[in-house]
Amino acid sequence: MLEAILQNYLKPPSIPSSLLNQSAQILTRKYHTLQTNNFNPTTKMSCNVVSNPSFEAGLNGWHARPLGVATIVTGDVAYDGSNLVSLATTPDVPSATVDQYLYDLDTANTYNLTVQVRIEGDLPSANQCTFSVEAGDDPAVGTIASDFVWNAGEWIELSGTYQPTVVDTVLNFVATCSFSGDVQLLNAYFDDVILSDC
């Protein structure tokens, strides 16, 4: 009698096939995200959904607008790692963007955004740049973070929160600079981009 009770108690519960299918879909989506973000199981686990966040692989995964405004700068000036992306702005092209497409976002989660921004070299007092991060395919959200930068030569952190209303979107990192006097070029730096839900 006791043996029969124990066998019944220790018998594994049956799991509905619908629950198994749902779990398989979630695991598949998470695997796809890890593959997209070049996840390496030997490194520290990251919740960052941005691929190549410190531009160590150049512009891989990123797109620049207008064409030709983005270059990779290597050296000690980088905030994280060895590389950063520089967007060239001029009086004729005062605004430049680098963007990345994101897929399979969880609309039930709030994501935390941080990105380091900087203006190269000296910045005359009459000039300034606005750095902003926008969810391009998520008009209900729009701008996630934005700030004016008046001082050159130092890193400043932009931060904000983002709860997506769509699962796929494009994240736009925009630098828009004003020009006066003899200034003909301002290079806007971005580095260490993090969009995390944990």
pLDDT digits (tens, 9 = 90+) for 92-147: 999 999 999 999 999 999 999 999 999 997 777 778 899 999 998 776 688 999 99
Of 4 and 60, the structure prediction assigns the larger pLDDT to: 60
How big is the chain by its Cα radius of gyration, in Å? 22
Same domain (yes/no): 78, 128: yes
145 domain residue, yes or no: yes
Same domain (yes/no): 89, 181: yes
Amino acid residing at 99: D
CA distances from 148 to 63, 144, 192 (A): 23, 14, 19
User: Could you list the residue range(s) of the whole structural domain that residue 14 is in?
Assistant: 2-36
Q: How many domains is the chain partitioned into structurally? A: 2
pLDDT band at 192 (very low <50, low <70, confident <90, very high): very high
51 domain residue, yes or no: no
Same domain (yes/no): 22, 113: no
Q: What is the residue whose two structure tokens read 């050296």?
A: 75
Backbone angles phi, psi at 193, to 5 degrees: -85, 125
Q: What is the CATH number of the domain that holds 89?
A: 2.60.120.260
Same domain (yes/no): 117, 164: yes
Report residue 142 as tokens: 């729009």
pLDDT of residue 123: 73
pLDDT tens digits along 84-106: 999 999 999 999 999 999 999 99
Same domain (yes/no): 32, 70: no
pLDDT of residue 7: 55
pLDDT band at 159 (very low <50, low <70, confident <90, very high): very high
Sign of the dihedral through C-alpha 91, 92, 95, 101: negative
42 domain residue, yes or no: no
pTM over 0.85: no
pLDDT of residue 124: 72
Same domain (yes/no): 7, 73: no
DSSP-assigned letters across all residues of 147-161: EEE---SS-EEEEEE
pLDDT tens digits along 8-21: 545 555 555 554 44
48 domain residue, yes or no: no
Hey, which residues does 133 pair with through a beta bridge? 145, 173
Same domain (yes/no): 24, 119: no
Q: For the chain, what is the mean pLDDT?
A: 83
Q: Are 100 and 62 in contact (CB under 8 A)?
A: yes
Same domain (yes/no): 20, 110: no
Same domain (yes/no): 31, 108: no
Same domain (yes/no): 103, 179: yes
Same domain (yes/no): 130, 190: yes
User: Hey, which bits of 46-168 come out as E strands?
Assistant: 63-65, 70-74, 83-89, 95-102, 111-119, 129-135, 143-149, 156-162
pLDDT band at 1 (very low <50, low <70, confident <90, very high): low
45 domain residue, yes or no: no
